[in-house]
Structure 1
Amino acid sequence: MNSLSGRTGFKILAYTSIALAAIGVVLPLLPTTPFVLLAAWSASKGSPAFSEWLESHQTFGPAIDNWRRRRAIPLKGKWLALVMLCASWSVLLVGGAAPVVLVATGLMFSVLACYLLTRASC
């Protein structure tokens, strides 16, 4: 992959992620913080100007700064993510997903939950 196409991919990921984060600001079930962090990371790889804008944004900037300085996640974001993990797994269970899918997602969600719970809160 050449440098230009790589930067374009990171830009697309950054803009898509921040769009989902913005939707998450108004939709209570869509977590904002993970999308903001993904947008910041991908923007730093593909668009320095967009990365700078994100870091100085009054809504998104503090979450990026807290993550970069302290690896901290807002407590509200943590709990919302945990609730959504449980809800997602429950939908699979009630929907009759295959046992292998339930086990695989259950393990993956458990690892993710442990990761979230072991990060600092802000």
Structure 2
Amino acid sequence: MGPLGHLSRAAWLVLGFVFVALGLIGALLPLMPTTIFLILAAGCFARSSPRLEAWLLDHPRFGPTLRAWREDGAIGPRAKIMACSGIALGYALFWWGARPSVAIDLIVGVVMAGCAAFIVSRPSPRLADSNRSEEGSI
């Protein structure tokens, strides 16, 4: 592996750790997402450290959710409810705090509704993994 390969691998590794840190912060802060950052971290680790990727995918709390997403693009029902509730709360806070014009209000509302529709349209985890995925939902 040449110098650029090592540099690229190091960059993916650092980015993976940044996403893990953001995911852990999201696990503690109510409105900050967790799962998306851990999905990104797993992707970065897949390009830099198979050992760290395996650690994340085998994690007792987050692993089932990450594996369900990777294998089927699946999101558990509890996670869907939490995500859509967060979107609704975020929109309400935006509307209350910013008092946007009708045009901005509609644009933000349509974008957020599109995000919620995408989340709701994802399949649920397969039956064999559904109990474990629900435990790991964020």
Q: What TM-score does the superposition give when structure 2 sets the normalisation length?
A: 0.71
- Where 1:20 maps in the other structure, the secondary structure is helix
In 1: Cα distance, 2:19 partner to 2:53 partner: 12
Q: CA deviation at 1:22?
A: 2.2
Mark the runs of 5 or more structure 1 residues left unpaired by the alignment. none
* Secondary structure in 1 matching 2:78: helix
Partner of 1:84: 86
Unaligned runs of 5+ in 2: 126-138
Q: In the alignment, what sits opposite 1:115?
A: 118
Corresponding residue for 1:38? Answer: 40
| Residue of 47, 50, 53 corresponding to 1:51 | 53
- Higher mean Cα deviation, 78-87 or 44-53? 44-53
The verdict on how the C-alpha distance between 1:41 and 1:96 changes in structure 2, with shifts beyond 3 A counting, is same
Deviation, structure 1 residue 104: 2.6
State the aligned residue count: 121
CA 104–41 in structure 1, closer or farther in 2 if over 3 Å, else same: farther
Considering Cα pairs closer than 8 Å and 6+ residues apart, tell me whether 1 or 2 has the greater RCO: 2
TM-superposed deviation, 1:80: 1.2
Aligned Cα root-mean-square deviation (Å)? 2.3
* Code of the aligned partner of 1:16: V
TM-score normalized with structure 1 length: 0.78
**Counterpart check, 1:106 vs 2:109:** yes
Deviation at 1:4, TM superposition (A): 4.7
Deviation at 1:102, TM superposition (A): 2.5
Which entry has the higher C-alpha Rg, 1 or 2?
A: 2
Letter in 2 for 1:18: V
Percentage of identical aligned residues: 28
Q: Matched residue of 1:97: which SS?
A: coil
CA shift for structure 1 position 117:
0.6
